[in-house]
Amino acid sequence: MERVRGSFAAFNRGDFEAAIGAYHPEVEWIPYLGAVDRPVYRGHEELMGMWSEFKENLGLRLEVKEWIDADDTVITVVEFRGVGTSSGAEVHQTWAQMYSIRDGLIVRVEPFADKDAALEAAGLSE
């Protein structure tokens, strides 16, 4: 959990080098937003490229509204806010993300429409 928290804090400071330190070199990130180049980003280089593009185009900021720690899985409810640098249009969206942890590093990030869907995927629903 602390590794995921630290990565969020570093990301929001714009310190991608510190943020990427929480991720396994072979990480897979499935983005939630439809305005991305590919369905899965793999490895540090692709992940940092995605982050840089979002930051450049949207002035991206992510705020975690809820944290759920389940040993080797962390689920977050994330609020995304940004403003298009070209259009000036405001973007606001909320979704859930499931972080899979292996050997203390994030190996996979999967998006879900809401917390209940993420909990079900993690086998944590009631």
Nearest alpha-carbon partner for 60 in 11, 3, 5, 10: 11
pTM score, whole prediction? 0.87
Q: What is residue 83's DSSP assignment?
A: E
Q: Tell me: the pLDDT tens digits for 71-81?
A: 899 999 999 87
- Asked if the model's pLDDT at residue 110 lies above 60, the reply is yes
Q: Tell me: the pLDDT tens digits for 88-102?
A: 777 778 999 999 999
Q: What is residue 31's DSSP assignment?
A: -
For residues 19 and 7, is the Cβ–Cβ distance under 8 A?
A: yes
For residues 5 and 67, is the Cβ–Cβ distance under 8 A?
A: yes
Structure tokens, 82: 């940004």
Q: What is the pLDDT of residue 36?
A: 55
- Position 105 confidence tier, pLDDT thresholds 50, 70, 90: very high
Label the pairing between strands 73-83 and 61-70.
Answer: antiparallel
What does the chain come to in residues? Answer: 126
Q: Tell me: the pLDDT tens digits for 32-68?
A: 865 456 689 999 999 999 888 877 766 667 889 999 9
Q: What is the pLDDT of residue 80?
A: 82
